């Protein structure tokens, strides 16, 4: 029997006009990227995707029709403290606050079979003994009908077998720190159905790294005990664990009477078995095991008798609490009749309110869906988890990345400015008095931070603070006194100024900022190890920050600083346009040996995307150069699947014995389409007024569009959230998406789409409206919450232009300029814009 997965792949490669069959060579020698992997009409490709998933925009959901996706397609369920990462097929893990030290369940990264373990339910016909899982996986017997859906903070599985249907909704509610497994069973037959229902989770040993190293000893320091309120309690208490007093107990319980339980994985699963065929399920039910040392799990058994036509609901809860008394309270709450419905309603209300701050109607429904739903959702998850844990990232070493989180704030500021402020406070607590910051830090784990100094990290904060100020108008924030990492405290504005001063104190021999450990491009450390390398891109980032700092200085009551900021800006600008200019594009860096990186003089890595885009973002590139640089991006770096980070990819540069990067050609940091950096090309094109080009760059990376272009079995990652990068045309797997979910792409795509393409951008004095759209759009509308008032904006583009506001009317009255003011005493205003 042929595997349906391969049926899908052949279907794709058989399309007429296919250029590279999946998995075969797409290598190009030309300077211009080759066409992407998939051929055939867009319609055929869209149809292919339709066999796998469908968007349900009204419900803010994406529905999956098959379990055998190329990779687990994830969702994150969370109340900010208790988190679960869950795939479309039920694999995933739960953690409390930190996946490093409080990982509750086990997920086997990189192992086969993929996507194990998870919070699984087994439904067994008590008469025949046959059993299946509503999640499709992992039982061998599969349901006759099945689909799953990810929504905002929940995942739902709908399945049926032998005239019994099961709907399971997993979510983390706001009232308790628990994963709720809400199972609804219906008997569609004319006979009584007797079912054994099992809920199973394999407990991890909280500290994942230590588990890998010390499991053989530490497993005997954990226990799973039965509590007479019909719950299992898992205790992790291991010698030398970090923060023992903050380590919670784990409980697992149901709101239905238990018919059995197991706390010992060996008893429930059995030896040489797996989650596909648990011994307890096959051999007559749970055994009543507990452990004082061993391999822990939580398995609960409940018996359900369903009359013909009857529907019954059973809920399971996997949660944490600090002690037994709190667990007893949680058990009490969770068993209240309306607890689960109240929890779900509150979850929904939170998301509706969060996403309600912005709603647009666009001619492009793919863009509209991303902007209204999935992009802000993904951005909020990045804000919560930084780059910590996903299918790709094991959640073992990265806490909060300073630069990553500072950028994540940009997409949360418009929707939840108070949370954005809190994050700024957290970040600035990692700043030293001299202005530099820790690179990663571990607020939950209490570990020492990673202290490498990068030329860009400390500068990002000013962008976030400026955006928060523009959103809220609250200049008082700049006066808040915040501590430094190395002692003392100062007003927030002073923190930002010290970041500027730090860069000024670390300028290199040519006058550009020293690269230090690296700049935004992590890989650049190899050309600046001796400490003399300089970053031309950081000069541009610094320039962007200096422009914002002028505004912030005025708002903080320090207008006297403006002249300094101006002077520094002009100095860097001069360098960028002289030493930084290569003739067709801007150079990227100066290496330790004084040679430039990113110049036509070398054979490899001649042109780098960031130096072209930020020349415009910073306003530093002289107009003809800025334009020429972005033309070079279009001509050399752009592909049908996004813009490459650099070209040509590196194999021997600068020294075959010590190349700049070990990434294979066209992958990761080496000539891949780095989606995060693509966002700045969209912004740059908008700033240059070239809306068609900006939109081309935007649309080609909308995940389901990129997937359509590449083919599902080439692209592989989720079609509803951005990935960090796609393999580039110099790789034979051009179009393969990597490191989805947790990436700076999310925040910046949101900024690019809302503030630059739609052009609705909070500024200190109001809401600036200055769209730069594709000329084919006849208009669009947005309703946006801004400083307590709802702005209902409609844009008309009767002249078929990209940009250029002819007139704006606010509640019928003509406005001078393009900044719509703040209306403290109106609850809503109508803004009509004519391009």
Applying CB under 6 A, the residues found at the interface with ligand GLC are 387, 401, 403-404, 520-522, 669, 676, 724, 743-744
Return the number of the residue (40 or 401) whose C-beta is nearest ligand GLC. 401
Smallest separation (angstroms) from ligand GLC to the CB of 400: 11
Return the number of the residue (441 or 569) whose C-beta is nearest ligand GLC. 441
Q: Are strands 828-834 and 789-796 parallel, antiparallel or unpaired?
A: parallel
Query: What are the φ/ψ torsions at residue 42 (nearest 5 degrees)?
Result: -60, -35
d(CA 650, CA 61): 41
Return the number of the residue (183 or 605) whose C-beta is nearest ligand GLC. 605
Please tell me the number of Cα atoms within 13 Å of 538 on its side-chain side: 32
Smallest separation (angstroms) from ligand GLC to the CB of 693: 24
> 10 Å Cβ neighbour count for 307?
11
Smallest separation (angstroms) from ligand GLC to the CB of 668: 9
Smallest separation (angstroms) from ligand GLC to the CB of 676: 6
DSSP, collapsed to helix, strand or coil, labels residue 249 as strand
Smallest separation (angstroms) from ligand GLC to the CB of 523: 6
Tell which residue, 377, 396, 342, 471, has the closest CA to residue 100: 396
Q: Are strands 145-151 and 61-64 parallel, antiparallel or unpaired?
A: antiparallel
Would you give the end-to-end CA distance of the chain in angstroms?
Answer: 59
> 10 Å Cβ neighbour count for 257?
8
CB 661 within 8 A of CB 523: yes
Smallest separation (angstroms) from ligand GLC to the CB of 641: 18
Return the number of the residue (393 or 687) whose C-beta is nearest ligand GLC. 393
Return the number of the residue (249 or 591) whose C-beta is nearest ligand GLC. 591
DSSP, collapsed to helix, strand or coil, labels residue 386 as coil
**Angle between the N-to-C axes of helices 609-617 and 675-687, in degrees from 0 to 180, rounded to the nearest 10:** 40
Which H, E and C letters describe 185-237, residue by residue? EEECCCCCEEEEEEEEEEEEEECHHHHHHHHHHHHHHEEEEEECCCEEEEEEC
Smallest separation (angstroms) from ligand GLC to the CB of 186: 46
Tell which residue, 204, 162, 207, has the closest CA to residue 186: 162
Return the number of the residue (152 or 684) whose C-beta is nearest ligand GLC. 684
* DSSP for 401-429, written as a single string: EHHHHHHHHHHHTTT-HHHHHHHHHHHHT
Smallest separation (angstroms) from ligand GLC to the CB of 520: 4
Return the number of the residue (403 or 495) whose C-beta is nearest ligand GLC. 403
CB closest to ligand GLC, residue no: 522
Smallest separation (angstroms) from ligand GLC to the CB of 526: 13
In sequence order, what are the residues at sequence separation of 6 or more whose Cβ sits closer than 8 angstroms to the Cβ of residue 252?
199, 201, 231, 232, 234, 298, 300, 316, 317, 318, 319
Q: What pairs with residue 667 in β-bridges?
A: 670
d(CA 332, CA 653): 65
Return the number of the residue (74 or 393) whose C-beta is nearest ligand GLC. 393
Return the number of the residue (400 or 555) whose C-beta is nearest ligand GLC. 400
d(CA 749, CA 701): 10
Smallest separation (angstroms) from ligand GLC to the CB of 393: 10
Return the number of the residue (744 or 762) whose C-beta is nearest ligand GLC. 744
């Amino acid at each position: 029997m042929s595997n349906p997965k391969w049926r899908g792949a052949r279907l794709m490669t058989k399309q007429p006009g296919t250029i590279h069959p999946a998995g075969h060579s797409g290598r190009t020698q030309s300077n211009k990227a080759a066409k992407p992997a998939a051929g055939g009409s867009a319609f055929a490709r869209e149809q292919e995707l339709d066999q796998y998933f469908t968007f349900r925009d009204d419900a803010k959901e994406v529905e999956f029709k098959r379990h055998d996706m190329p990779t687990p397609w994830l969702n994150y369920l969370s109340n900010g403290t208790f988190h679960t990462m869950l795939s479309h097929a039920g694999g995933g893990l739960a953690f409390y606050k930190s996946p490093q030290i409080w990982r509750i369940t086990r997920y086997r990264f990189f192992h086969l079979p993929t996507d194990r373990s998870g919070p699984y339910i087994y439904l067994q016909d008590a008469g025949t003994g046959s059993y299946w899982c509503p999640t499709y996986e992992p039982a061998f017997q599969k349901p006759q009908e099945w689909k799953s859906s990810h929504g905002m903070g929940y995942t739902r599985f709908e399945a049926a077998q032998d005239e019994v249907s099961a709907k399971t909704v997993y979510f983390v509610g706001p009232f308790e720190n628990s994963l709720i497994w809400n199972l609804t069973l219906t008997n569609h037959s004319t006979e009584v159905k007797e079912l054994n229902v099992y809920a199973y989770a394999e407990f991890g040993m909280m500290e994942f790294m230590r588990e890998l190293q010390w499991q053989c000893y530490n497993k005997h320091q954990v226990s799973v005990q039965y509590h007479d309120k019909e719950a299992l309690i898992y205790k992790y208490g291991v010698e030398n664990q970090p923060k023992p007093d903050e380590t919670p107990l784990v409980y697992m319980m149901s709101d239905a009477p238990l018919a059995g339980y197991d706390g010992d994985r060996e008893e429930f699963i059995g030896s040489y078995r797996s989650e596909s065929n648990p011994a307890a399920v096959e051999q007559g039910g749970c055994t009543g095991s507990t452990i004082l040392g061993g391999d822990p799990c939580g398995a609960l058994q409940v018996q359900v008798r369903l009359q013909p036509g009857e529907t019954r609901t059973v809920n399971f809860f996997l949660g944490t609490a600090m002690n037994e008394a709190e667990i007893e309270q949680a058990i009490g709450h969770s068993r209240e009749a309306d607890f689960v419905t109240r929890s779900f309603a509150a979850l929904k209300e939170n998301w509706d309110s969060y996403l309600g701050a912005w709603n647009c109607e666009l001619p492009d429904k793919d863009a509209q869906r991303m902007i209204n739903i999935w992009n802000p959702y993904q951005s909020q998850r990045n804000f919560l988890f930084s780059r910590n844990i996903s299918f790709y990232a094991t959640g073992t070493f990265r806490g909060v990345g300073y630069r990553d989180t500072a950028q994540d704030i940009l997409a949360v500021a418009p929707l939840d400015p108070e949370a954005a402020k809190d994050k700024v406070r957290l970040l600035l607590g990692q700043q030293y008095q001299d202005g530099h910051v820790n690179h990663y830090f571990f607020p939950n784990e209490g570990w020492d931070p990673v202290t490498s100094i990068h030329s860009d990290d400390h500068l990002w904060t000013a962008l976030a603070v400026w955006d928060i100020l523009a959103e809220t108008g609250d200049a008082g924030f700049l006066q808040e006194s915040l501590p430094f990492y190395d002692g003392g405290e100062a007003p927030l504005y002073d923190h930002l100024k010290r970041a500027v001063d730090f860069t000024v104190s670390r300028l290199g021999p040519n006058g550009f900022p020293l690269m230090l450990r690296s700049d935004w491009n992590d890989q650049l450390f190899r050309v600046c190890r001796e400490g003399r390398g300089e970053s031309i891109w950081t000069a541009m980032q610094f320039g962007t920050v200096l422009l914002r700092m002028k505004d912030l200085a005025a708002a903080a009551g320090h207008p006297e600083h403006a002249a300094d900021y101006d002077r520094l800006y002009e100095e860097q600008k001069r360098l960028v346009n002289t030493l930084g200019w290569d003739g067709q594009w801007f150079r990227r860096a100066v290496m330790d040996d004084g040679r430039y990186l990113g110049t036509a003089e070398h054979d490899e890595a001649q042109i780098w995307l960031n130096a072209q885009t930020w020349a415009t973002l910073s306003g530093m590139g002289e107009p003809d150069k800025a334009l020429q640089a972005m033309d070079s991006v279009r001509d050399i770096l752009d592909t049908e699947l996004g813009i490459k980070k650099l070209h040509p990819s590196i194999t021997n540069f600068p020294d075959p014995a010590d190349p700049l990067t070990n990434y294979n050609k066209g992958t990761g940091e080496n000539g891949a389409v780095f989606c995060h950096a693509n966002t700045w090309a969209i912004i740059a094109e908008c700033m240059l007024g070239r809306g068609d080009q900006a939109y081309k760059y935007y649309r080609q990376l909308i995940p389901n569009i990129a997937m359509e272009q590449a083919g599902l079995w080439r692209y592989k990652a989720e079609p509803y959230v951005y990935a960090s990068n796609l393999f580039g045309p110099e790789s034979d797997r051009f179009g393969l998406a990597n490191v989805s979910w947790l990436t700076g792409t999310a925040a910046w795509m949101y900024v690019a789409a809302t503030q630059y393409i739609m052009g609705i951008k909070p500024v200190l004095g109001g809401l600036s409206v200055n769209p730069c759209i594709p000329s084919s759009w006849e208009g669009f509308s947005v309703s946006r919450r801004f400083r307590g008032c709802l702005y209902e904006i409609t844009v008309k583009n009767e002249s078929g232009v990209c940009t250029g506001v002819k007139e704006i009317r606010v509640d019928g009255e003509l406005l001078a300029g393009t900044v719509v003011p703040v209306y403290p005493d109106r609850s809503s205003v109508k803004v009509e814009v004519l391009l």
